[in-house]
Amino acid sequence: MNLLAIAINHHTAPVEVREALHLNDDEIRTITLKAKEKLFTECLIVSTCNRTEVYGIPKNVNTLHTDVQNFLLNGKSNIKITEENFQNFSSSKAVQHLFEVIAGINSQIVGDNQIFKQIKSSFQIADDLQASGFLMRHLFASSTRVGKRVITETSISEGAVTISFASVQLIEKIFSSLGKKSALVIGTGETGEIAAKHLRDRGIGKLTITNRTKEKADKLAETLKCSTINFNEFKSQLYQFDIIISATSYEGLILTKKDIESSMKERKGSTVVLMDIAVPRDIDPDSKYIDHVFYKDIDSLNIIVEQSLKKRNSEIPKVKLIIKEELEEFGNWYNSLDASPTIRTLREHFENIRAEEVKKNKNKFLEGDHEKLEIITKRIINKLLHYPTTELRKAAEQENDSVITKTKVGILKEMFGIDKSITEKKNNNE
């Protein structure tokens, strides 16, 4: 299998290099088209905050990994990148790497299932640009199956693995519903920002941001569609909030026990949750002795994170077994094509017909039915071709009777007009 892949990720490069090579969807589309024109017959480009990777079937068998690297770095001469910043994969190793990425065991945070959606989106872009062909489409199907199996058959994506998420997860256990609760996030650094995003995603009733630098608070609030409060005023309004998450880099306490006691008098016995996820701490730890106050600091939250990470790591052997099974399945499929190239031609012939007809007619269906249309038409093709391809594989395995093999191959080609179709396509291209 002449499949090449290059990867630059958190294992090989610092964040400034990864940021410089990050591609948005428009850039992926542009580079995919150029890659298909210059290097590949089929290709796929993946780019997330932690990785940029290129997969492709080279037009020229002499194409090297360095050729792909140089292509990706074109126009990026101001960035210092060396050969050591890249990982290179070929053939089945490239497939295995993609499976490990979509499974979440190659992520910076083990079990990160966001990558599953990102890989699917990358495949969709390649397909929309007609940069994916017979092999890439099968690779997409196999990769998707790996991702789905990992999600349904293992627990590798379960549990909180960041302090910010752990704090919000714990808050959800204290309050049965966040829809009627109000929250204040103090600090707009990475930790505070992530905590605020998790609260928004969990449907918090009212979210407010405060920060010493008002511009930073306003910027985050605009992104999250929430409100802000001036830093020099927030203490006087503490009583309004059911949840307070503090994540600043201030050297010293921002909220004293006295501050909390004053706000609790206004709350008249209503519970408040204090999550101090700052280092050093922002909130006086003695606040936990106040009635109706639930207080947690970063040390107690770290215990939750460590337990979750331990559980996720224990699931890695299960994930690797799934990858091994799917890799063998993919290898068997590809080897069957090598054993009898006619199978590949036959399936590609029918897949091209199917894809062309779906493309021409899908506007006759509701947008929500497009995925069903893809699934149903692919199933029809698979069922139609199951028996002839099975017989062809059997014939290919009968090494002592090449006459039977050639006869069956010839009959299939003649019945389905494969040679004629290929010739017509070649003439049209010329």
Alpha-carbon distance of 9 to 292, in angstroms, equals 46
Query: Would the pLDDT of 421 be above 60?
Result: no
Identity of the residue numbered 136 = M
Query: Does the pLDDT of residue 347 top 90, yes or no?
Result: no
**What local confidence, expressed as pLDDT, does residue 107 receive?**
86
Residue 390 has pLDDT above 80, yes or no: no
The DSSP secondary structure of 202-235, one letter per residue, reads: TT-SEEEEE-SSHHHHHHHHHHHT-EE--TTTGG
Tens digits of residue pLDDT in 145-158: 999 999 999 999 88
Active site residues: 49
Is the model more confident about 339 or about 253? 253
Cα of first residue to Cα of last residue in the chain, in angstroms, is: 27
User: Starting from the edge strand earliest in sequence, which strands make up the sheet with 182-186, in order?
Assistant: 227-228, 206-210, 182-186, 243-246, 272-276, 293-297
pLDDT digits (tens, 9 = 90+) for 294-336: 999 988 888 888 888 899 999 999 999 999 999 988 887 776 6
Mean pLDDT of 108-130: 89
Nearest to 164 by CA among 260, 246, 282: 246
290, 270 in Cβ contact below 8 A? no
| C-beta separation of 56 from 42 below 8 A | yes
CA–CA gap between residue 405 and residue 392 (Å, rounded):
7
CB-CB neighbours of 290 under 10 Å: 17
What per-residue confidence (pLDDT) applies to 422? 47
The residue with greater pLDDT, 423 or 396, is 396
Q: Please give the mean pLDDT across all residues of the chain.
A: 87
196-212 pLDDT, tens per residue? Answer: 999 999 999 999 999 99
Q: Which domains does the chain have, with CATH numbers?
A: 4-156+316-339 (3.30.460.30), 163-302 (3.40.50.720), 340-430 (no CATH)
Q: Which of 1-15, 141-155, 257-271 has the lowest mean pLDDT?
A: 1-15
